[in-house]
Amino acid sequence: MIYYNVEKNEDGIFLIEEHYNPKFLLKTETVFSQCNGYFGIRASYDSKVINENRGMFVAGLYNKAYENEVMELVNCPDIVEVQLIFNDEKFSIDTSELLEYKRALNVLTGELTIHLVCRLKNGLDVKIYSSRFASYHDRHLFCQNVKITPLNRDGELTIVSGINGQITNSGVSQFKQIGSRVYDKKYMSMMAYLTKDKLSMMNTCVMNPNYEKSPDFVLKRRSIYAKYKLSVKKNQEVSFTKYNYIKNSQEINSLNEEDKKRVLDTCIEKGYDVLLKEHRDVLINMWKYAKIDIKGTSLEEETAICFAQYHLFGMMPYEDMKLSVAAKGLTGEGYKGHVFWDTEIFILPFFLYTFPQKARHLLEFRYHGLAGARAKAIDYGYEGAMFPWEVARDGDEQTPLYAALNIHTGKANKVWSGIKEHHVTADIVYAMWKYYTYTNDERFMLDYGYQVIFEAAIFWYSRASYNEEKKQYEILDIIGPDEYTEHIDNNAYTNYMAYFCVKVAKKLANELKIKNLAVFEEMNRNLQLEIRLKQWNDFLDKIYLPIPNQDNIIPQDDTFLSKKVLDNIDYYKQCDEKQAILLDYSRDEVVDMQVLKQADVVMLLNLFPHLFSNEVIKENVIFYENRTIHDSSLSYCAHVQALANIGETDKAFKFFKKALEIDMNDNPSDSTDGIHSASLGGIWSSVILGFAGVSHGQNYIEISPKLPSNWEAMSFYMNIKGVYVKISISKEKIILECERQLDSAVNIKIYDKEYKLQDTLIHEVYTK
């Protein structure tokens, strides 16, 4: 059930919190965050409240506080707080009587608004209205406006605003040094130094009515504030606008202090409303091509889909090709801001089909991490590139060695995913292949793709063990996507993905030898491709690929089907607290059960939908879902896509509704440390790759819609060969309309019929 109210009008689509509920404080800080790809700011109140967790996260700004810790995305100084003091009483929601309350996020514009009417202990009734946004027009800019009106009597108002550098990552101070100063009695500046990087922040404030004298500036430890004192009349509105400019270490030298002051002066000249319009105009153009219009869906469903895309926009590092998307985007400290396989498998498809250049950037990030992948392979005795399970800005492994306690021994459990969960290396190759076959971007392959794919295939050959008795290659002591099943042999997902990786490498190497011999010879000198091709042929001939048994079930691994079934698994499926099973059983005990944290074989069926018959897919989805707790946010959307692909739309839609609620549900403990980035990408995939039936292979695009019964029609855009194509699906026809004529015709498959698309294409009669 969605916790927030939803509303739609000519100004946008809104998520609304109608009542102040401290239990949902941290969750709503996450859900209502403002992010623009360069930085993200949690939706904390202007004035402090108890148990809040303020946060600003700048893309790529990582630090290791101590030698034995891992790199983490830094929680940066707070630029949002505004202290309001009325007649010597400091305002706080916690200590005031709330007469009116409304907090709303416009998911189409990213503007957050907070409306309060409060009665202070001193008897003053005051209306406070604030709004803020992280600009898409200038991604270094954060704007905040606060309007204060005393309602029942005159009073003395003090406003304190500045930059608070005392923020920590869960109690750990990341910044080694912070320097603050004031320029021209107008601009507050802070330079914050990490071990290697630094962050520059400057802000200035505008008071309306005009505040003619200079404010009092206060320099505190790691903080700087400006203090404004005013006498205000009953019903007199005081407006306070704050403009913040943020630069990370890679860009600081490109803009000196005088330049920053000029930028802020321009902001003052334009004002909040003009800057908001500039920001909105950029988003309007993005929404033109990203918005999915569905006839027959509910407003809650439409809002949830737009919410997913709003945060997908906000997590993409638009300006830096050496960054990627973290598991929590830029909304919280969860997973320490690390990048997982989530990005390539769950998030990248949205960008691939809608903004393919951005998908390219995400893949370039993996190329720049090759040094770390090679080092990890060597550390574990393998060849090639073995990509880490968790990475930060560079390519080094960042997975912590230990995590939660063993409930029986009281000792910390070892985190085996960083040591044994290797499918990420194949996931990256899968994403690169999907990008290449969709865009035909040969320049990408020459600069990045071939190198990564070949080295990944070299790793998989070295990772496999040859079983002399069975005359087959096997992948032993591994973890698949299901992280509750550790130290198993021949995980189906991993084996098939390794096979795919080597198959693609072989195909590309043979093609490269023909079409660009010079490049092939250079790579052959570095990677011994001629020798590798022989190894890859042998691997492809002999790798063990689990097939359906007599009951049509694909064994998840060699031993899964022989393990005991947990009788009360439904209890853990319905439990609000994630991973509650680990409170009753140790991880070692869970490993010996037919219990899944998340989709595993089902993920295999999604990535290779034509590999097995619809009957096999259906049987496996049902079988494994009965054993899946869905403790991972990645799980529901995987089941949606698998079921939709085989026409089981009613079953798919039940999982879809659960996927929509993952961040917006009525569980106050969920999402407190950041949004579920991959799940949001999975929502988009459920709609487009699932219900709309979009997929592609080499030299063709397929559209095979299977709309839910309550959806009458839908339309959306895809970027095909640099041209945006509007795809309209109804029960009568499917129409593809190009914004401009394609340079060359594209092969389109609609169900079993093949077409050539260059301008407009109409497929009559949509069969349900």
pLDDT in tens, 67-96: 888 999 999 999 999 999 999 999 999 999
Residue 185 lies in a domain: yes
Residue 405 has pLDDT above 70, yes or no: no
Distance CA 258, CA 267 (A): 14
pLDDT in tens, 464-511: 999 999 999 999 999 999 999 999 999 999 999 999 999 999 999 999
Q: How confident is the model at residue 255 (pLDDT cuts 50, 70, 90)?
A: low
- Domain count for the chain, please give it: 1
90: which 2 tokens? 């400091």
Residue 411 has pLDDT above 90, yes or no: no
pLDDT reported for residue 408: 65
**C-beta atoms surrounding 542 within 10 Å:** 15
Checking DSSP bridges between strand 746-750 and strand 700-703, what pairing results, if any? parallel
Residue 56 has pLDDT above 50, yes or no: yes
List the one residue out of 42, 80, 44, 39 whose CA is nearest residue 240.
Answer: 80
- Mean predicted confidence (pLDDT) in 137-151: 97
Residue 583 has pLDDT above 90, yes or no: no
Partnered with residue 764 across adjacent β-strands are 733
List the one residue out of 222, 118, 204 whose CA is nearest residue 161.
Answer: 204
List the one residue out of 428, 452, 265 whose CA is nearest residue 340.
Answer: 428
Task: Name residue 251's amino acid.
Answer: E
Q: For residue 196, give the 3-state DSSP assignment.
A: coil
By residue count, the chain amounts to 768
Distance CA 628, CA 668 (A): 23
Question: Which residue's entry shows tokens 């949902």?
Answer: 24
Q: Which residues of 194-218 are buried (b: 16+ CB within 10 A; e: fewer)?
A: beebbbbbbbbbbeeeebeeebebe
Residue 576 has pLDDT above 90, yes or no: no
- Mean predicted confidence (pLDDT) in 115-144: 97
Q: What is the mean pLDDT of the chain?
A: 95
Provide the percentage of residues in the chain whose pLDDT is more than 70.
98
pLDDT in tens, 638-661: 999 999 999 999 999 999 999 999
- Mean predicted confidence (pLDDT) in 362-380: 98
Question: Which residue's entry shows tokens 């809650």?
Answer: 300
Helix-strand-coil split of the chain, %, nearest 5: 35, 25, 40
Distance CA 507, CA 432 (A): 14
pLDDT reported for residue 250: 61
pLDDT reported for residue 768: 46
pLDDT reported for residue 252: 53
**Contact (CB, 8 A) for 747 and 736:** no
pLDDT reported for residue 574: 85
Residue 689 lies in a domain: no
Q: Which residues of 384-397 are buried (b: 16+ CB within 10 A; e: fewer)?
A: bbbbbbbbbbebbb
Domain with 94 in it: what CATH number? 2.70.98.40
10/412: higher pLDDT: 10
**C-beta atoms surrounding 168 within 10 Å:** 13
Three-class secondary structure assignment of 565-621: CCCCHHHHHHCCCCCCHHHHCCHHHHHCECCECCCCHHHHHHHCCCCCCHHHHHHHH
Strand order in the sheet with 746-750: 694-697, 700-703, 746-750, 753-757
Domain that holds residue 215: 32-290
Residue 320 has pLDDT above 80, yes or no: no
CA distances from 743 to 198, 346, 694, 702, 757 (A): 46, 30, 22, 19, 10
pLDDT in tens, 712-741: 999 999 999 999 999 999 999 999 999 999
Residue 592 lies in a domain: no
Q: Which residues are catalytically annotated?
A: 483
**C-beta atoms surrounding 748 within 10 Å:** 22
The full DSSP string for 331-362 is S--GGGG-B-THIIIIIHHHHHHH-HHHHHHH
Looking at the chain, the number of H-run helices and the number of E-run strands are: 23, 33
Q: Among positive and negative, which fits the CA dihedral 130, 135, 138, 141?
A: positive
Q: How confident is the model at residue 407 (pLDDT cuts 50, 70, 90)?
A: low
The span from the first CA to the last CA of the chain, in angstroms, equals 29
183: which 2 tokens? 């320029």
Task: Name residue 588's amino acid.
Answer: D
Distance CA 209, CA 380 (A): 66
Distance CA 270, CA 278 (A): 10
- Mean predicted confidence (pLDDT) in 758-762: 97
E strands, 686-751, are: 694-697, 700-703, 713-720, 723-730, 733-738, 746-750
Residue 651 lies in a domain: no
Residue 356 lies in a domain: no
Residue 298 lies in a domain: no
Residue 296 lies in a domain: no
**Contact (CB, 8 A) for 494 and 422:** yes
Residue 88 lies in a domain: yes
Distance CA 171, CA 655 (A): 38
The structure's pTM equals: 0.96
- Mean predicted confidence (pLDDT) in 219-240: 95
Q: For residue 59, what is the DSSP state?
A: T
Distance CA 744, CA 180 (A): 58
Distance CA 246, CA 153 (A): 39
